[in-house]
C-alpha cells in the first residue's frame, strides 16, 4: 500500500466519522425536541396522582394508555374531553389497582405502547439509536448536574394568582392563622426589625380535596407574591439525582422571585421517613436531604415561605418538622355544615340552580364530603341536568350527582344473572336490616340492586350530623352494619361472594384504628401503635404484633356474629326486603320504613 492510498483511507475514515457525528447530532436534536414537546404537553394537561386514584375509584376512568418503561400514563376521564397525563409513582401497584377495578366490572380500555418515537423512526436510524440514546443520556446527566446550559428541567406553575381568601369557604380559624403569613410576606422588615424569625415552612395536613392547594394559592394572592408549585410525586424519577436537582432548581427560582410562596403538594412522596438501602429509597433520601439543605440555607431576608401538603403526617420524616423547617403545622379539616354550605354557595354562583334547590339541605346530606367533592357534585349535577334536558339544575339532578360521586354512575345496561341479582338483593337487604336494629346507625335512605360504578348494589344511609367524636359503641355497630351484607349471603345462600370485599376492607380499617389509634381495646389499653418503628414497638413486648392482630380479629368476629344473630332474629324482614328489591330494584326511605311499621 502506498502512502497516498493510506492518506485517502484516512480521509475517508474522517469523513465517515464526521457524517456519523452529524447524523447523531441531528438525531439527538430530534429526540430532544420530541422529549421537550412531550414535556410541554404534559405540563398543560396533567392529573395529580391522588386525583387519578380518586377518579379510578369513582369508576370515572375510561382509558389508560401507557408506554413501556415510563411512569407517565395517559388517561381519559369520563366527561372530560382532553386526555390527561399523570405520573404514577409505582406502575406495578397502580396496575394492580386497575386490574381489581377491571375485575370489579369497570370498563377500562388498557393500551400498552412501546415508546412512541421509536416506532416512528425508520429502521436504519434505529440501529444508531442506542448510541444516540447513550449520548442523549450523557447530555441529560450533565444537565442534571447543572453543568449544561440552563433549561426548563422541572414543571412549575409560576405566576401571581388571582385567588383570595374570600374564594376559600369556611376554614375561618385557619385563614386567621394564614393572615399572619401574608403579613410576613408583605412586610418582612416589620418583623425582622423586632428580631422575629419569619417561619420558613408550614405543613398543611388534610385529606385530598380539602382545599390545601387553594388556601396556599390564596396566601400568595393576598400577599401579591408569586406562587411556585410542584408535586412530591414529580420528584420521583427514574434517574438518580434528578429529584435532588429539581429541588435545587426549584429553590434557585424561588430565590430569584422572593418574596414568594413555594408549594410542595404530596410532600410525603419525598419526605417519608428515611430508611437506608434500596435504590428508590436512596433516591428519596437525596431528594429529601436536598430539601432540608435548601430550607436551612435561605436566610430570613429572602422571605421564601414553603407550604407543603400531605394527608399522611405520620409518614413524614421527623427531620422535616424541626425548628427552622416545617415548624408550623395546620390541620385542614373536612368542612363542617357551615363550611359545606359556603362551599356550595361559592361553586353554585356560576350555575343555574332551580328555585326549589335548597343548598342547606344538600349541605346537611353531605357530612364528610370534601370541598373538591362538593364542587364535583355541582359540576356533575349541571351535566346531569343537561342530559335530562332540564331548564335548570333541579333537586333530582343534584341527588343523582351525589350518588354518582359517592357510589359511581348507575349502570342499568350491565346484564347480570338471576343468581347474582338474588345475591346482591340479600347482601344489600342484609346491610339495611342490620343497621335498622343498631341504635347508633343512621336511617337507611335508599337500598338498590342497580349496579353503580364498581358496586353491584348499594345501601345509602342518611347523613350524620357533624360529630367531633365517635364512640366505641358507634364504631362497633358500624362494623356490624358493614358485615351485615356478607352475613346475609352466608345465612340465606350458604355461600359467600367477592361482593363484600369493600365492606371488609372498610371494616378491617375501622377495627385496626380502634385498636391501634383510638386505644379502644381493653386488653391493650389506650396506646397509639400507629406509625411506630419496629424498635419502638418492641417496647410493648415481643409479641405485640400478634396481640394487636388478635384484638382486631376479635372485634371483627364479634361484629360478624352479631350481624348473623340480628339477621336470624329478623329473617322475615330480610326476606321481605330482598324480595321487594328483586321486584323493584330500589327501595326509598319511606318504603323501607313501612317494613318495620
Sole binder of ligand ADP in the list 221, 371, 451, 484 (CB under 6 A) = 371
**Quick one: which H or E segment has residue 218?**
helix 212-223
Sole binder of ligand ADP in the list 58, 136, 170, 267 (CB under 6 A) = 170
How many angstroms separate the CA atoms of 564 and 581, rounded? 20
Q: Using H for helix, E for strand and C for coil, what is the string for 30-62?
A: HHHHHHHHHHHHHHHCEECHHHHHHHHHHCCEE
* Residue 226 in contact with ligand ADP, rule: CB under 6 A: no
Part of the chain binding ligand ADP (CB under 6 A), chosen from 167-175, 383-391, 403-411, 420-428: 167-175
Q: Which does 221 bind (CB under 5 to 8 A by kind): ligand ADP, Zn ion, none?
A: none
**Quick one: which H or E segment has residue 109?**
strand 109-113
Q: Which does 170 bind (CB under 5 to 8 A by kind): ligand ADP, Zn ion, none?
A: ligand ADP
Q: Is residue 428 annotated as part of the catalytic site, yes or no?
A: yes
Part of the chain binding Zn ion (CB under 5 A), chosen from 183-191, 324-332, 364-372, 500-508: 500-508
* Residue 489 in contact with Zn ion, rule: CB under 5 A: no
| Cβ 154 vs Cβ 162: under 8 Å | no
R_g of the chain, CA atoms, integer Å: 29
* Residue 259 in contact with ligand ADP, rule: CB under 6 A: no
Sole binder of Zn ion in the list 271, 451, 456, 485 (CB under 5 A) = 485
Residue 553: phi and psi, rounded to 5, are -65, -40
* Residue 503 in contact with Zn ion, rule: CB under 5 A: yes
Part of the chain binding ligand ADP (CB under 6 A), chosen from 115-123, 168-176, 230-238, 545-553: 168-176
Footprint (CB under 6 A) of ligand ADP, residues 295-314: 309
CB of 263 to ligand ADP, least distance (A): 9
Closest to 267 measured CA to CA, from 217, 222, 317? 317
**CB nearer to Zn ion: pick between 375 and 503:** 503
CB of 502 to ligand ADP, least distance (A): 23
**CB nearer to ligand ADP: pick between 267 and 483:** 267
Please measure the distance between the N-terminal and C-terminal CA atoms of the chain and give it in whole angstroms: 112
Closest to 50 measured CA to CA, from 89, 20, 107, 76? 89
Dihedral in degrees, nearest 10, Cα atoms 544, 207, 272, 524 = -10
How many angstroms separate the CA atoms of 241 and 238, rounded? 9
How many angstroms separate the CA atoms of 448 and 354, rounded? 27
- How do the residues of the chain divide into helix, strand and coil, expressed in percent and rounded to 5? 55, 10, 30
- The pattern of x and - marking residues 362 through 381 that bind Zn ion according to CB under 5 A reads --------------------
Sole binder of ligand ADP in the list 171, 288, 377, 520 (CB under 6 A) = 171
Beta-ladder partners of 109:
63
CB of 165 to Zn ion, least distance (A): 42
Q: Which does 232 bind (CB under 5 to 8 A by kind): Zn ion, ligand ADP, none?
A: none
Sole binder of ligand ADP in the list 59, 209, 259, 456 (CB under 6 A) = 209
**CB nearer to ligand ADP: pick between 53 and 108:** 53
Dump the DSSP string for 273-320.
PP--SSHHHHHHHHHHHHHHHHHHHS-GGG-EEEEEEES-GGGB-GGG
Beta-ladder partners of 328:
202
Task: Please give the grid coordinates belonging to residue 548.
Answer: 394487636
Q: Is the CA virtual torsion 559, 562, 564, 566 positive or negative?
A: negative
Under 8 Å CB-to-CB from 383, ≥6 apart: which residues?
Answer: 79
Q: Which does 171 bind (CB under 5 to 8 A by kind): ligand ADP, Zn ion, none?
A: ligand ADP
| Cβ 567 vs Cβ 434: under 8 Å | yes
Part of the chain binding ligand ADP (CB under 6 A), chosen from 162-170, 246-254, 294-302, 454-462: 162-170
The one catalytic residue in 342, 428, 477, 489 is 428
* Residue 446 in contact with Zn ion, rule: CB under 5 A: no
Characterize the bridge pairing of strands 61-67 and 157-159.
Answer: unpaired
CB of 54 to ligand ADP, least distance (A): 9
CB of 170 to ligand ADP, least distance (A): 5
Q: Which does 211 bind (CB under 5 to 8 A by kind): ligand ADP, Zn ion, none?
A: ligand ADP
CB atoms within 10 A of CB 553: 13
Sole binder of ligand ADP in the list 47, 56, 132, 169 (CB under 6 A) = 169
Catalytic positions are 428
Kindly list the residues in this chain that would bind Zn ion in the complex (CB under 5 A). 485, 503
Kindly list the residues in this chain that would bind ligand ADP in the complex (CB under 6 A). 168-171, 206, 208-214, 309, 343, 346, 371-372, 375
Amino acid at each position: 500500500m502506498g502512502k497516498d492510498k493510506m492518506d485517502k483511507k484516512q480521509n475517508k475514515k474522517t469523513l465517515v466519522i464526521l457524517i456519523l457525528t452529524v447524523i447523531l447530532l441531528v438525531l439527538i436534536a430530534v429526540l430532544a425536541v420530541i422529549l421537550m414537546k412531550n414535556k410541554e404537553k404534559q405540563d398543560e394537561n396533567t392529573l395529580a396522582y391522588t386525583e387519578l386514584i380518586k377518579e379510578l375509584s369513582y369508576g370515572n376512568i375510561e382509558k389508560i394508555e401507557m408506554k413501556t418503561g415510563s411512569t407517565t400514563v395517559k388517561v381519559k376521564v369520563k366527561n372530560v374531553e382532553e386526555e390527561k397525563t399523570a405520573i404514577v409513582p409505582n406502575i406495578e401497584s397502580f396496575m394492580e389497582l386497575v386490574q381489581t377495578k377491571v375485575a370489579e366490572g369497570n370498563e377500562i380500555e388498557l393500551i400498552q405502547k412501546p415508546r412512541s418515537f421509536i416506532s416512528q423512526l425508520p429502521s436504519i436510524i434505529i440501529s444508531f439509536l442506542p448510541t444516540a440514546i447513550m449520548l442523549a443520556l450523557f447530555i441529560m446527566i450533565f444537565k442534571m448536574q447543572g453543568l449544561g446550559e440552563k433549561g426548563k428541567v422541572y414543571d412549575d406553575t409560576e405566576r401571581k394568582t388571582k385567588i383570595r381568601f374570600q374564594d376559600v369557604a369556611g376554614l375561618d380559624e385557619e385563614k386567621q392563622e394564614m393572615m399572619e403569613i401574608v403579613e410576613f410576606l408583605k412586610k418582612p422588615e416589620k418583623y425582622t426589625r423586632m428580631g422575629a424569625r419569619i417561619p420558613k415552612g408550614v405543613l398543611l395536613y388534610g385529606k385530598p380535596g380539602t382545599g390545601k392547594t387553594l388556601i396556599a394559592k390564596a396566601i400568595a394572592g393576598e400577599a401579591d407574591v408569586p406562587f411556585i408549585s410542584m408535586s412530591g410525586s414529580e420528584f420521583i424519577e427514574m434517574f438518580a439525582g434528578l429529584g435532588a436537582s429539581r429541588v435545587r432548581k426549584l429553590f434557585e427560582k424561588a430565590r430569584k422571585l422572593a418574596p414568594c410562596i413555594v408549594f410542595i403538594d404530596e410532600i410525603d412522596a419525598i419526605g417519608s421517613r428515611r430508611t437506608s438501602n434500596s435504590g428508590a429509597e436512596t433516591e428519596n433520601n437525596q431528594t429529601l436531604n436536598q430539601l432540608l439543605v435548601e430550607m436551612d440555607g435561605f436566610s430570613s431576608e429572602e422571605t421564601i415561605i414553603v407550604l407543603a401538603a400531605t394527608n399522611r403526617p405520620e409518614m413524614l420524616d421527623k427531620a422535616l418538622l424541626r425548628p427552622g423547617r416545617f415548624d408550623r403545622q395546620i390541620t385542614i379539616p373536612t368542612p363542617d355544615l357551615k363550611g359545606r354550605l359556603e362551599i356550595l354557595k361559592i361553586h353554585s354562583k356560576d350555575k343555574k340552580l332551580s328555585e326549589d334547590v335548597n343548598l342547606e339541605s344538600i349541605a346537611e346530606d353531605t357530612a364528610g364530603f370534601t370541598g373538591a367533592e362538593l364542587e364535583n357534585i355541582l359540576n356533575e349535577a349541571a351535566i346531569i341536568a343537561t342530559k335530562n334536558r332540564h331548564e335548570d339544575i333541579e333537586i333530582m339532578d343534584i341527588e343523582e350527582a351525589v350518588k354518582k360521586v359517592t357510589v359511581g354512575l348507575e349502570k342499568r345496561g350491565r346484564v347480570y344473572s338471576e343468581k347474582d341479582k338474588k345475591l346482591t338483593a340479600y347482601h344489600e337487604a342484609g346491610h339495611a336490616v342490620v343497621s335498622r336494629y343498631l341504635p347508633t346507625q343512621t336511617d337507611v335512605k335508599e337500598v338498590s340492586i342497580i349496579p353503580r360504578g364498581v358496586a353491584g348494589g348499594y345501601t345509602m344511609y342518611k347523613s350524620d350530623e357533624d360529630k367531633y367524636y365517635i364512640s366505641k359503641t358507634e364504631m362497633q355497630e358500624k362494623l356490624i352494619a358493614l358485615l351485615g351484607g356478607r352475613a346475609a349471603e352466608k345465612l340465606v345462600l350458604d355461600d359467600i361472594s367477592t361482593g363484600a370485599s369493600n365492606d371488609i376492607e372498610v371494616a378491617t380499617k375501622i377495627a385496626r384504628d380502634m385498636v391501634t389509634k383510638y386505644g379502644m381495646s381493653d386488653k391493650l389499653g389506650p396506646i397509639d401503635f400507629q406509625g411506630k418503628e419496629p424498635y419502638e414497638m418492641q417496647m410493648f413486648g415481643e409479641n405485640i404484633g400478634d396481640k394487636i392482630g388478635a384484638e382486631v380479629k376479635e372485634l371483627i368476629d364479634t361484629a360478624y356474629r352479631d350481624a348473623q344473630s340480628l339477621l336470624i332474629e329478623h329473617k322475615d324482614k330480610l326476606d321481605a326486603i330482598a324480595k321487594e328489591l328483586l321486584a323493584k330494584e330500589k327501595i326509598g326511605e319511606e318504603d323501607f320504613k313501612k317494613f318495620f311499621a
